Structure 1
Amino acid sequence: MVVAQIIDSLDTGGAEVVAVNMANALSRIEGVTSHLVVTRHTGALEARVDPAVKLFVLQKKGAFDIKALFRLRSYFIRNAVDIVHAHSTSFLYPAILEPFSSFMLVWHDHYGLPIRADGKRHYPYKIFSSLFDHVFCVSQQLVENNRKHLRVPRHKIQLLYNFSVKLDVTATEKVSKPEGRKLIVMSANLRPQKDHLNLIGAIQQLSAEIPNLLVYCIGGTNDAQYQQQLQAAIDTAGLTETVLLMGSQPNPFAFYQIADVAVLSSASEGLPLTLIEYGLAGCAVVCTDVGQASAVVNQENGWLVPSSDSTALANAIGHVLMHPEAAAVKAKRLQQFVQQFFSEESAIYAVMNTYKHILKT
């Protein structure tokens, strides 16, 4: 079986990490040849791609690049690809090629169908969905939405929880925790949906009560305006030396392992891969109760707070910092929970069963 994961870039993000992890995991299965096709450009995640994975960068220029489309077609034919597993917005080129090709097309929905300014769903998803042989969704909400809006039989739209793997931290990647500081880490690309302003508001409240706070915000961005907005909010709040925008990091586990608390302050989510990573790293976790976050974190293994409520977020973070023993107990529970229910083994087992089924039909 020849399988090609396809993703738009290798910048650090949830869909991108899943695509890389899936390609890596499949490369270790006997009888499977695993490819990873990147339509636009590589990024920090290229360092995580296993040598056994065949990496191809299409270098697409613009929304529609006819030469890139034919390069992709040639690549699929040359490598006799059986399954194309398209993540997020990368489905378009495979969908165009699918009627003239022998591969089966799987779409992996990480974020849901985009909604236009007029409130309607973007039509390309609905039109091209008739060419999808199967759809994976990272949350039950996305399953239900896609069953309403896509031209795909209901039984072919399946829940598949995200999974991650714990990365070893090498000597060169190791990060030292500044002495005497209480370290808060948030790993999320700089996008309005992640609501870093909520975290900034919480830290502004906390800094009056708990001295020596330090916040590392890990994540890249393609939105320079939003980054400037965040930096302005940090400076205005007098937190320039407290809240640091660290940019994209090749191995965030280097930061997780020294954190006193790991936070996700999002206004909206699917099933956040970041929470799974926090759990694997053994972090005490505070997150907003949005999307499928509660499928990972609950009040028994972490702290869930309402979204867009900086006071509630501040109170939860403060509780973790003031009660490290209780936080360690919950962190251990979360680690065990994630290892049991969000493992690579269970996800790849489900994916391989689906691949085999659609190749038989």
Structure 2
Amino acid sequence: MSKIQVNTLHIIDNLWLGGAQTVVKGIFEKYSQNENFHLFVLRDTDEKMSVENKNVTVYHSSSRFHFRATIRQIQKIIKKENIELLHCHLPRSQYTGIIIKLIHKKIKLVFHEQGDVIDPFPLNLPAYKFFGNLIEHVICCSDFVKNTLEKKSRFPGEKISVLYNFVDRDVFTASDRVPGKKINIGFAGRLTQHKGWRDFLEATAKLSQKRPNICIHIAGTGKDKRKMLDTAKSLFPDSQFMYHGFVKKMDDFYREMDFICMPSHREPVGMVHIEAMASGKIVIASDVPGMNELLIHNKNAYLFEAGNINDLQIKLSKALDNSEKNSFLLKNAEKLLTKVSFSAFDENLQKIYQNKILAPDN
């Protein structure tokens, strides 16, 4: 692994459950010996990921209204560590980065866009529209996100790079689980409508009528938690459904699953499917932009039409009945995992820093 020499401060809104947080956690645990890399977390939360790195500072307040104190704390880190580059993840961090850039004009400002711009009403869109001249470069997690950002904000394409998220193969490894009498089908993600949790429950409920040996598992939390639990209670007996809540060690969750379903209605690129593949699990996912840049139907996953419960049920049935095809998919999944390895991410991040951000003509 190469070492980034520039003094860099990453800023992220929080360490709650999410793809951006997973990526940041992975970066800082891989770069744990890099004295040039620092992380500032704007807000503490009850449920959060832990990051094993001494250069992580968490502002210990659950309130969103501590702006001045946060800026002062960040400025102390900038002065002490001679920070040259700000790498901002998620909307609040991006706006914080803009304020810091206005104060410290020589600092290079980088946005890592994990897909907020694909939302119907993106919170960070004004940052690109009105303060784009302050942003040195934007790193997008997929071509879909890059194209959406250009279209919505008119931010110049030459200042945007695509860097796919990575999966940590030291954490997510194929398990030796042998399916027993119960077949475990899992969903992992934030419990909000666009993640498709209701489609997942309705499709698997129909499936369970003919296949009483399946057990449905959900990991994650969010504003739809109560709705999800009420829906599950109306569709499944207790013996066929298990809610795991917020799961800190997702590798343990995947290890106990036979299949992972990702029924999102929209997705910038996703993390669950590559983590599941690295864990040796068959993925059934919605065919949506971003996610289908990595997933190919009948090659490394089963894809279904987003929001189409009948199609999801059909693809789940095919996955359950076709062990030979599943072996073929898992073999091809290994090829994809090379593309989204940390070594590939690290190499490309180095190139972006050196060639697109720190080069003298930038």
Query: With structure 2 as the length reference, what TM-score do the two structures score?
Result: 0.88
CA distance in 2, matches of 1:330, 1:129: 42
1:292-303 correspondence runs (5 A): 292-298=290-296, 299-303=298-302
After superposing the two structures, state which structure 1 stretch, 184-193 or 106-115, moved more.
106-115
The one-character-per-residue Cα deviations of 1:125-145 (angstroms, maximum 9, x if unpaired) are 422332211001112122122
Match runs of 1:1-361 below 5 Å:
1-27=6-32, 33-41=36-44, 46-47=49-50, 49-51=51-53, 53-59=54-60, 61-63=63-65, 65-89=67-91, 90-101=93-104, 102-113=106-117, 122-150=125-153, 152-168=155-171, 180-221=181-222, 223=223, 226-298=224-296, 299-334=298-333, 336-357=334-355, 358-360=357-359, 361=362
Q: Number of residues paired by the alignment? A: 349
Once residues 251 and 175 of structure 1 are traced to their aligned partners in structure 2, the CA distance between those partners, rounded to angstroms, is 18
Contact 1:188 1:194 in 2 (8 A): yes
Judged with a 3 Å threshold, the aligned counterparts in structure 2 of structure 1 residues 182 and 349 are, in CA distance, closer, same or farther, namely same
Query: Structure 1, residues 102-135: CA drift from partner, whole Å, max 9, x if none?
Result: 3211101112327677x99853442233221100
Q: Name the SS for the 2:184 alignment partner.
A: strand
List runs of 5+ in structure 2 lacking aligned partners.
Answer: 1-5
> Is 1:279–1:338's contact at 8 Å kept on the other side of the alignment?
no
Q: Alpha carbon RMSD of aligned pairs, Å?
A: 2.7
Judged with a 3 Å threshold, the aligned counterparts in structure 2 of structure 1 residues 234 and 82 are, in CA distance, closer, same or farther, namely same
Partners of 2:153 and 2:79 lie apart in 1 by: 28
Q: What is the rounded CA distance, in whole Å, between the counterparts of 1:269 and 1:9 in structure 2?
A: 20
Amino acid at match of 1:196: W
Gaps of 5+ in 1: none
On the 8 A contact 1:6/1:39 being kept in 2, the answer is yes
- Cα deviations by residue, 1:210-246 (Å, 9 ceiling, x for unpaired): 112111111122x1xx111111111222344323221
The CA deviation at 1:257 is: 2.2
Would you say the 8 A contact 1:15–1:87 is kept in 2?
yes
Which letter does structure 1 place at the counterpart of 2:82? A
Give the whole-Å Cα distance in 1 for the aligned partners of 2:120 and 2:304. Answer: 29
Identity rate of aligned residues, in percent?
A: 21
Listed one character per residue, the Cα deviations across residues 71-111 of structure 1 (whole Å, up to 9, x for unaligned) are 12222222211221111212111210112213211101112
